[in-house]
Amino acid sequence: MMEYNSTHCRINISTQLHYFLTVCFYVYMICVVACYFLSYQESFDCRLYTPTLADYQKCPTSTLICFEKEVNVLVLESGNKSSPIYKPKLSIRLKSLIKQKEGANCPDCEAHRERTAKDFLTTLQTILEWMNDQGCRKPSSH
């Protein structure tokens, strides 16, 4: 049986807390930027490949990659309609969440249905809020 090492646990818990807070912050900031784009959605006349929450739950990496690619399309389509300050932030923060690898059963971005910019951003916001809810719950004491 392993011996309990309180110093090791404190460092481990501290590292986990730091990671936990960082992920929560990134998800929150992505939501803020997505909401910003959503406020301009009426002026966007484009259709974007839009994964669903179910797609994210099955294939988180490919779903985030798809959203990141389509956000770049949205930024190009928006032209001067959105602030240049926000243009790279959503894409960069989405990339920061893409870490793990997954199996070959996940669809390519182009396999998802094309939706309006409003539907795309609403779905992205829903997924980010779900991620935030799942990832930012207070860890259990077990």
Q: State pLDDT tens for residues 11-53.
A: 455 555 555 556 666 666 666 666 666 665 555 667 899 999 9
**For position 74, what pLDDT does the model report?**
78
Of residues 61, 53, 47, the one with CA closest to residue 128: 53
**For position 141, what pLDDT does the model report?**
39
Higher per-residue confidence, 22 vs 130: 130
Q: Return the bridge partners of 95, or none.
A: none
Buried b (16+ CB within 10 A) or exposed e, 78-88: beeebeeebbe
10-135: CATH topology: Growth Hormone; Chain: A; (1.20.1250)
Q: What span, in angstroms and rounded, lies between the C-alpha atoms of 122 and 34?
A: 8
Q: State pLDDT tens for residues 103-128.
A: 557 888 999 999 988 888 889 888 88
Q: State pLDDT tens for residues 61-117.
A: 888 888 888 888 877 776 655 554 455 666 666 666 665 555 557 888 999 999 988
Locate the domains of the chain by residue range.
Answer: 10-135
Share of the chain above pLDDT 70, in %: 44
Q: What span, in angstroms and rounded, lies between the C-alpha atoms of 9 and 21?
A: 18
**For position 1, what pLDDT does the model report?**
46
CB atoms inside a 10 Å sphere around CB 52: 15
Residue type present at position 67: F
